[in-house]
Structure 1
């Protein structure tokens, strides 16, 4: 078993078998606090020199990245407070086994713990794409690229959540990303997603 797959299997099996200790998500915290949390997070296991970004790669076909950012998710904008983390995102790319939504959700639980996972599970869906109209139009006009990305915005009691999974033409979910972010940035992201 290759190194990245083994690492993800260990992390996810430990979270399922041993139970995940509740870990606080950190959007809204200072960059120094988030950096310390990343370094102490047994799931992320950053390497030397990795600060707010962690990267794992064993082949070109498999990658994992985690990044905490002072910029809200979506289109690039200037940070309003450069010392404050506004969003945290992890992305998984796997050409071999794929990245279904369940894998993103399991990773969310492994990284953040049960409290954040439950906040995500109980969150209200704000926006889901592609819409049924877009699916029908893509089918009629034979434009599969229009529906390659499936995503959802949710708002929980503590944070807002955005996931997006990109599918190949054969339907396999090739990569996915999950973002945990401040609820005050939800309207901006929703507007941007609806306009694309």
Structure 2
């Protein structure tokens, strides 16, 4: 009976920990997000890191998580500087590479199943590059711009922006996934279409 009670207590703690995984998201206060970052076992920030977590395992492998009060894209003044508008995960890995699946798994490990499912079920509303963009990048000899792939997804709770360079030769070594408020999607899409 005692073992069953300990098992139930352990299960309850695991459920509580898992349900807390995505407690801080865009739309919440900077204080709420900072507290969540501090408690998030996947992020495990160093002392003094609040809205920005930066880890370097080796010079060839880096991870950054950043919560910001600014909408993605070109910086514009925030209507409420105390509210987080975006949260971004940046990966750089010259050893293992960074692909779309790895970015998705990073999202899942940081935010948990609910946000991961919102991302997976979100519909793609814009993707790039299109053939005209590729041709323009080739004409101007801009290989990074030619290789840059991305998409904006609109979920039921949030919008998501995924971006990574996909070189013709070799593997992609960096990428990012950003969670943003759905109200900021039109601004981001317009800026991406005009870059």
The normalised TM-score by structure 1 is: 0.84
Shift of 1:36: 0.5
Q: Over alpha carbons, which structure has the higher Rg? A: 2
Give the equivalent residue in structure 2 for 1:12.
none
Give the equivalent residue in structure 1 for 2:154.
155
Aligned partners of 2:76 and 2:53: how far apart in 1? 22
Q: 1:48 to 1:140 in 2, by over 3 A?
A: closer
SS in 2 for 1:76: coil
Give the equivalent residue in structure 2 for 1:82.
81
Aligned partners of 1:159 and 1:137: how far apart in 2? 32
**Structure 1 segment 64-83 matched on structure 2, within 5 A:** 64-83=63-82
Shift of 1:141: 7.6
SS in 1 for 2:18: coil
Contact 2:150 2:164 in 1 (8 A): yes
Shift of 1:76: 1.1
Contact 1:167 1:175 in 2 (8 A): no
Shift of 1:145: 3.1
**Structure 1 segment 52-67 matched on structure 2, within 5 A:** 52-67=51-66
Aligned partners of 2:128 and 2:170: how far apart in 1? 16
Contact 1:144 1:169 in 2 (8 A): no
Shift of 1:122: 0.5
Q: Deviations over 1:121-173 (max 9, x none)?
A: 00011100001333355567875333221000010000000010023452411
Q: 1:51 to 1:142 in 2, by over 3 A?
A: closer
Is 2:127 the counterpart of 1:125? Answer: no
Aligned partners of 2:177 and 2:134: how far apart in 1? 23
Give the equivalent residue in structure 1 for 2:177.
178
Give the equivalent residue in structure 2 for 1:13.
none
Shift of 1:50: 0.3
Give the equivalent residue in structure 2 for 1:134.
133
Aligned partners of 1:56 and 1:142: how far apart in 2? 33
Give the equivalent residue in structure 2 for 1:4.
none
Give the equivalent residue in structure 1 for 2:41.
42
Give the equivalent residue in structure 1 for 2:18.
21
Aligned partners of 1:168 and 1:135: how far apart in 2? 12
Is 2:32 the counterpart of 1:33? Answer: yes
Aligned Cα RMSD in Å? 2.1
SS in 2 for 1:80: coil
Give the equivalent residue in structure 1 for 2:111.
112
Structure 2 spans left out of the alignment, 5+ residues? 1-13
Aligned partners of 1:117 and 1:178: how far apart in 2? 12
Q: 1:40 to 1:171 in 2, by over 3 A?
A: same
Where in structure 1 do 4 or more consecutive aligned residues deviate above 2 Å?
18-25, 132-146
The normalised TM-score by structure 2 is: 0.85
